[in-house]
Chain A
Amino acid sequence: MSPPVKVIGALGSTFSHRVEAALCLKGVPYELIQEDLNNKSELLLTHNPVKKKVPVLLHGDQAICESLVIIEYVDEAFEGPPLLPIDPYDRAVARFWADFMDNKLLKPFWLAHWTEGEVQKGFAKEAMENLALLEVQLRGKRFFGGDTVGYIDIVFCCLAPWLSVIEEVTGMTVVDESEYPALRQWEKEYNSYEALKPCLPGRDQLVAYFTENKEKYKMYANAWAQQ
């Protein structure tokens, strides 16, 4: 019998949600350990000494870090429906889009909401160009992978439960419904997907969290913008 699975995660972290979503879809029971990111625990720092970040998957005596690494681990180490496609080329395409999310879209998308003035405009332009590529990918499909939520969908989760929350907290809209109808429809589909219900964050909780930490997130955003 497989040793127990725990996730060191945090409310508010899209990366943490990715891991929970992967475990949910794979049908792997787990215990969630909520981390207070303002006061990082010994448990987190011991198991992720290099990056000191959530999420961390604990499986027996193994600690796996980095959300994309964890998702592939979950897919490979446990029985259950596959998260990534089976065909090598389709897998390469899926991994490409995951890389796109983290290395091309995430920064402008996030900073377009959390910064202001000319800086905000620059990030919004970049975000919208990148989002347009996703809009094309989604056209005619319910999810990026087809009829069911898969790897690419959970990788893009910051465009689902988080999107309307940060729009509300920051007062900024970048993903306009009229320009990105497929993306906004996908957002609704993701947020109401039955198999993800056990791990979807509560909207009110997320709003409260980001409202409480608004100044901190604005500060992080401005620092990130200068890099």
Chain B
Amino acid sequence: MAGEKNKGLQLLDFWVSPFAQRCRIALAEKGLPYEPLEQDLSNKGELLLRANPVHGKVPVLLHGGRPICESLVILHYLDEAFPEAAPALLPSDPRARAHARFWADIADRKVFECGTRLWKLKDGEARARARGEMVEALRALDAELGDKPYLAGEAFGFADLAVVPFAAWFPGYARLGEFSLEEVCPRLAAWAERCGERESVARNMHLPEKVCEFIAYLKDKYGDK
């Protein structure tokens, strides 16, 4: 019955947001039903602005109407508020948890942040630095993956979940930064495909072409002229 399964979860969403994607994948992994609420970010509604007054951003998870903001905070919350919903997104061992959190942070602070600078900034020293840092971050991810099937090791884990939505952004970043993914991070393409074999990921992945189009739109609309 819908009522029994209903956990009172809603997700304020935006189709291309890799952060919202993380949450969708996580909810699917845990088999938690939720109401997806796609937001119009060019014309933010009352619901979003009330739920996330500080940032006005997606994703926001509403649980019984109470907002939880920031994708990694949401992922932690899903584990902690729904301990009965297997699998756990984070491993139980503190060292493994720290490892997972570190690489999730790399995706946010290095990959996405540098990527944003790449499309936003005009050519110059600052943009060159962003490119350099992006390449460094992708090399680091590739090195961390190594010969393992997943970032977490033998099994798909939190770090993989946190990073995989950005896989569709890599080609766009490579084009902007004029570098070759084959040369910089040769193992990540296979890793992304492997992650994509999971239903939770497959159902929530975007085509790189669509993301490239979106990046071009962002550059055109918000990039420095």
Contact = CB atoms under 8 A, between A and B. Distances in A.
Interface of A: 49-50, 62, 64-66, 68-70, 72-73, 76-77, 88-89, 91-92, 95-96, 99-100, 104, 133, 223, 226-227
B181 interface: no
Contacts, number: 70
B101 A72 contact: yes
Nearest to A70: B98
Contacts of B81: 88-89
Where chain A touches its partner, the secondary structure class is helix
A156 B41 CA distance: 30
Contacts of A73: 94-95, 97-98
Contact of A133 (B54, B94, B98, B121): B54
13 contacts: A62-B95, A62-B98, A66-B102, A66-B105, A72-B98, A73-B95, A92-B73, A92-B80, A95-B72, A104-B54, A226-B125, A227-B117, A227-B129
Contacts of B125: 226
Given A89-B81, A91-B77, A227 B68 contact: no
- Give me the 4 closest cross-chain CB pairs, A-B, nearest first: A88-B80, A77-B94, A76-B94, A88-B81
B58 to A, nearest CB: 14
B130 interface: yes
A76 B92 CA distance: 10
Contacts of A104: 54-55
Given A104-B55, A226-B126, A227-B130, A92 B77 contact: yes
Interface of B: 54-55, 63, 66, 68-70, 72-74, 76-77, 80-81, 94-95, 97-98, 101-102, 105-106, 117, 121, 125-126, 129-130, 140
B73 A64 contact: no
Contact of B68 (A68, A69, A89): A89
Nearest to A224: B126
B98 A91 contact: no
Nearest to B68: A92
Contact of A69 (B101, B121, B129): B101
Given A66-B101, A91-B77, A91-B80, 9 more contacts: A65-B102, A88-B77, A91-B76, A92-B80, A96-B70, A99-B70, A99-B72, A99-B73, A227-B126
Contacts of A226: 125-126
B86 to A, nearest CB: 17
B105 A69 contact: yes
A65 B125 CA distance: 28
A74 to B, nearest CB: 9
A99 B66 CA distance: 18
Nearest to A76: B94
A104 B102 CA distance: 19
B76 A95 contact: yes
Contacts of B130: 227
Nearest to B52: A96
B140 A95 contact: no
